[in-house]
Structure 1
Amino acid sequence: MKEITFINRNKARWETFEQQLKKPSKVNPDSLADQFIQLTDDLAFARTFYPRSHTLRYLNSLSQKTHQEIYRNKRERGSRIPAFIKTELPLILRSARPYFLISLVVFMAAWALGVVSALTNDDFVRMIMGDQYVNMTLNNIEKGDPMAVYGQMAETPMFIAITFNNVFVSFNVFLFGLLTPLGSIFQLFRNGVMVGAFQAFFYQKNLLGVSTYAIMIHGTLELSAIVLAGGAGIILGKYLLFPGTFPRKDSFVYGVKKGIKIMIGLVPVFIVAGFIEGFVTRYYNTMEHWLNIFIILASFVFIIWYFFIYPEIVYRKFKADKIN
């Protein structure tokens, strides 16, 4: 749909809504919230199809005024969250797919380099993981429980600590995008090398299968989310470094908002990954094999579905709705 057609079809509604905002005391709060959801849909559509237009700026300004009015009345409806999950975030995720792909390639390349480096240099693992961790793991291997690290703390404290660490690492990867995309790429590379070296270490001890089995119970979500956070960081750096026709400040603000929304969508993933690592992973060698495999496959299917397949479905439906 051409931008002028999009404007003509919705201009009257936007202008009416804008007039209503000038007299907020006469607007029903529930009606205001309903119209805000429609405006959010329009904004998401404009971000997807007209990312550098005055229409996007206008809708963004109007949505901010509406949000402020709803918040001022303290009557914001819970439907804002479902709309974000069902429509706004998926459209952002679809537009971010190229950056997710770059992030994945960097992470996998770093993973491979970590493996090769650990296999060719006996001191590399200690350089990356630290002597204390390596010595502790060697001691656990001698005791017959190579992954005992996952059972050293009680479930709840470990869940809290792991979740906090996962969120910290992911936001660290994201915020390094402030140093241009190379900042996030560096952090992705660093984390990828660590994972590769870790796996190579267990391969050398003939325990690759055991370590992979234990790690991927929670790592399917955790590592996937770090890669996606890397993509969000690359977006942040891209809009800062390459503003295009936008003023650099406006481009940067747009990149920050887009990246933060992706990160907000990832926080629940890290919480679930932390829960699994704190409460489930410690039982990897006593649980039924089918249950371990189910958790890994379910995690993988969720990531592929919500972050890649579902955004395409939403995009096509949204485009069709706007054209019809």
Structure 2
Amino acid sequence: MREAAFVKQNKDKWLRFETILTNKTNIDPDLLSDLYIEITDHLSYAKTFYANSNTERYLNQIASKAHQSIYKTKKEAKNRLITFFTTEFPLMFHKHHRELLITFLVFAFFTFVGAFSTASDDDFVRSFGLSDGYVNMTLENIEKGDPMAVYKEQGEFNMFLGITLNNIKVALFAFGYGILFGVGSLYFMMRNAIMLGSFQYFFYKQGLLWESARTIWIHGTIEISVIIIAGCAGLVMGNGMLFTGTLPRLEAFKRGVINGLKILMSTIPFFIVAGFLEGFVTRHTEMPDWLAILIILGSLALIIFYYVIYPIRLHKKEQAFTEFKNKIELTN
């Protein structure tokens, strides 16, 4: 059977089923069960003959909705967290890719500013980038032949825990400064970017750019990325105060705060991963270059996929589902 004929033959049942699900009061359990069985049969048929089509996506959506209504149990609270990370957050974050781009560009620009300033002034790294104590310690480690010794000073677990908590604290500051109409978060990005730029150029001057980069970016790829994303969360909150659209200012601000907190929440698992890498992996400076590069590229791919590619894909699927649903309702 052609897909169009299949849709035409069954669309009335599907719309009726959706109506019953929407009107959650007065649901006849037997009717709902019968329709659910029929819908799942239609879904199986669509998966077989119209794989990856709008019909399959539409039926999958209403079948999932029905499953939640029929088999709603205490497990739903556990699944809520999974749903947040796999569906709710990515769909919401797609709307804030513009703020992500802004924070990334600000961070990238001031990283170059930090590197350029250090190249122009030897004392800049001490006055703005890093503390005297850290610079002196690093120079001593370089003389001892182990420039990355700082990552071996603490025990693995203690370092993992301390770094993770510190990174989460940094993310909270990056978000919290967004209350200053978003400018505070951008300022926070600027300071951290200048520190990063001066830090990397400092090692370049010591002839250790590659050794430092391959070591630091094992954990820094995820760590720096999610700090930028936390800055994006602050910008989202600030934009809620400045650009209200059709909403009252207070309502727009509340929405900005909620969306910003959701973005911030999404970074927690990544900070844990970054802390694990810094505590347990970065210290192994003897690892081969290919393994370090693999970890760095894998971390970068993970961040780009989850925060950029996946939200775009999910948004397109959601759009296709909505258009198909509207088409069915119009032809009814």
TM range (shorter): 0.7 to 0.9
Match of 1:148 in 2: 149
1:317 aligns with 2:317: yes
Match of 2:216 in 1: 215
- State the distance in 1 between where 2:17 and 2:255 align: 23
Match of 1:116 in 2: 116
- Give secondary structure in 2 for the equivalent of 1:245: coil
1:169 aligns with 2:170: yes
The CA deviation at 1:286 is: 1.3
The CA deviation at 1:74 is: 6.2
The CA deviation at 1:307 is: 0.8
Match of 2:59 in 1: none
Alignment-mate amino acid for residue 113 of structure 1: V
The CA deviation at 1:229 is: 1.1
User: TM-score, length-normalised on structure 2?
Assistant: 0.76
Match of 1:133 in 2: 134
- State the distance in 1 between where 2:145 and 2:309 align: 42
1:201-237 deviation per Cα after TM superposition (whole angstroms, max 9, x unaligned):
1111111111111111011101111111111111110
Match of 1:244 in 2: 245
The CA deviation at 1:245 is: 2.3
Does the Cα contact within 8 Å between 2:107 and 2:193 map onto a contact in 1?
Answer: yes
1:123-175 deviation per Cα after TM superposition (whole angstroms, max 9, x unaligned):
11111211111111111111011111111100000000000111111111011
**Runs of 4+ residues over 6 Å off in structure 1:** 8-11
User: TM-score, length-normalised on structure 1?
Assistant: 0.78
Match of 2:280 in 1: 279
Match of 1:55 in 2: none
Match of 1:298 in 2: 298
- State the distance in 1 between where 2:264 and 2:233 align: 7
- Give secondary structure in 2 for the equivalent of 1:282: coil
Gaps of 5+ in 1: 1-7, 21-26, 32-69
1:16 to 5, 23, 46: 23
Alignment-mate amino acid for residue 152 of structure 1: E
1:253-310 deviation per Cα after TM superposition (whole angstroms, max 9, x unaligned):
1011111111111110010000000000000x21132221111111011011111111
Alignment-mate amino acid for residue 270 of structure 2: V
Gaps of 5+ in 2: 1-14, 34-71, 325-332
Alignment-mate amino acid for residue 98 of structure 2: P
1:225 aligns with 2:226: yes
Alignment-mate amino acid for residue 317 of structure 1: K
CA RMSD of aligned residues (A): 2.4
Out of 274-283 and 79-88, give the one that drifted further: 79-88
1:84-138 deviation per Cα after TM superposition (whole angstroms, max 9, x unaligned):
1221111122111111100011001110110111111111111121111111111
1:178-216 deviation per Cα after TM superposition (whole angstroms, max 9, x unaligned):
111111000000000000010111111111111111111
The CA deviation at 1:15 is: 5.7
Does the Cα contact within 8 Å between 2:214 and 2:289 map onto a contact in 1?
Answer: no
The CA deviation at 1:10 is: 10
Out of 271-280 and 89-98, give the one that drifted further: 89-98
For the pair shown, the structure with the greater C-alpha radius of gyration is 2
Match of 1:62 in 2: none
Q: How does 1:43-62 map to 2 (within 5 A)?
A: none
- CA, structure 1 residues 226+219, in 2 after alignment: closer, same or farther (shift >3 Å)? same
- CA, structure 1 residues 10+107, in 2 after alignment: closer, same or farther (shift >3 Å)? farther
Does the Cα contact within 8 Å between 2:164 and 2:274 map onto a contact in 1?
Answer: yes
- Give secondary structure in 2 for the equivalent of 1:164: helix
